[in-house]
Amino acid sequence: MFKAIFIDKQDGAQAAQIVDLDESRLPEAPVTVRVEYSTVNYKDGLAITGKVPVVRKWPMVPGIDLAGVVEASVSEAWRPGDRVLLNGWGVGEGHWGGFAQKARVNAEWLQRVPECFTTRQAMAIGTAGYTASLCVEALVRRGLTPDRGEVLVTGASGGVGSVAVALLAAAGFNVIASTGKAAEADYLRSLGATQIIDRNELAHPGKPLQKERWAGVVDSVGSHTLVNACAQMRYHGLVTACGLAQGMDFPASVAPFILRGVSLLGIDSVMQPMPSRLLAWDRLARDLNASALDSISREIGLAEVIDVGNRIVTGAIRGRVIVDVNR
């Protein structure tokens, strides 16, 4: 038997609870992982609350991230005792995920935990941090350098934003952090932000073209915030979009793209090919130090996941929340 967060749906309504499950209930897959840690992401909150229908199969064990040790494997790629992590691949949406003490998954979804990280630290990063690294990789790979100008991070006190601020600062960029939480200013400066702006400066409808400011953007908010960021881009600026905390609409003009040559880069973390994942984790291993991880994250037990999942979709959670599934 193992403990898990279990979501089921009856008569159109869903309910999440912590339950004991028999190992025979695990889905068919080649690799069984003894999960040590998971983490609560925004998408996990959507799954738990049902606010957006991200769960595609019922019943479901949510949790799009997990890290632990291989317990059994019929795949030549993995042996018992290997330290592994998993981000995305539809886990926690269409395949049972990481909010459990056991998981059974496809071999190609797993990657090794970098030597410099514990499984706990890997989940302090999780999909949010890995997505932030994908964004930074995309900006740098397309030629963005610190001498080009300021880089904006929206939703900066959230999981993606916190790690993006730290990674960009480590790479030498002048990082401007946008947040609705004035009390988090010192926290964001400790991660490397040089200036804090109120999210209301970007959150409302604005002109199609505005005063040029940003050389690059990491946006996890969407909607008018992303539109205004694009409207404020410098010539040939680069914008990465990876989230929809404000909304999935994009009420924009084509003006920034055809008059300033702005590029809008969509960042998908779920089905990202493994080579790109490894590059993102290489950057995290190189540029994200332990002290940053400590300030970004806090730990909860499995029994607290449902409450945190409800709170994360309201924007009430700062940074990263690690889940010790064994307490």
Q: Residue 9: which CATH number?
A: 3.90.180.10
Please count the CA atoms within 13 angstroms of the CA of 133 that sit on its side-chain side.
21
**Shared-domain flag, residues 101 and 176:** no
Does 154 reside within a domain?
yes
Print the domain residue range for 99.
2-113+292-324
Are the CB atoms for 5 and 35 separated by under 8 Å?
Answer: no
How much is the pLDDT for 75? 97
**Shared-domain flag, residues 66 and 141:** no
Mean pLDDT by 10 residues, the chain (327 residues): 94 90 96 98 94 92 98 98 98 97 98 97 96 98 98 96 96 97 94 97 97 98 98 98 95 98 98 97 93 90 96 90 97
**Shared-domain flag, residues 214 and 185:** yes
How much is the pLDDT for 52? 85
Question: What's the CATH number where 188 sits?
Answer: 3.40.50.720
DSSP 9-75: EETTEEEEEEEEE-GGGSPP-SEEEEEEEEEE-HHHHHHHH-SS----SSSB---SEEEEEEEEESS
How much is the pLDDT for 268? 97
Rounded distance between C-alpha atoms, residue 16 and residue 14, angstroms:
7
On whether the pTM is more than 0.85, the answer is yes
Strands 320-324 and 297-301: parallel
**Shared-domain flag, residues 159 and 80:** no
Does 222 reside within a domain?
yes
For the chain, the straight-line distance linking the first and the last C-alpha, in angstroms and rounded, comes to: 15
**Shared-domain flag, residues 8 and 104:** yes
Tell me the backbone φ, ψ of residue 139, rounded to 5 degrees: -65, -45
Does 119 reside within a domain?
no
C-alpha angle 252/233/175, rounded to 5°? 120
Does 175 reside within a domain?
yes
Total of domains in the chain: 2
How much is the pLDDT for 13? 84
Does 34 reside within a domain?
yes
Does 58 reside within a domain?
yes
How much is the pLDDT for 235? 98
**Shared-domain flag, residues 155 and 259:** yes
**Shared-domain flag, residues 103 and 135:** no
Does 281 reside within a domain?
no
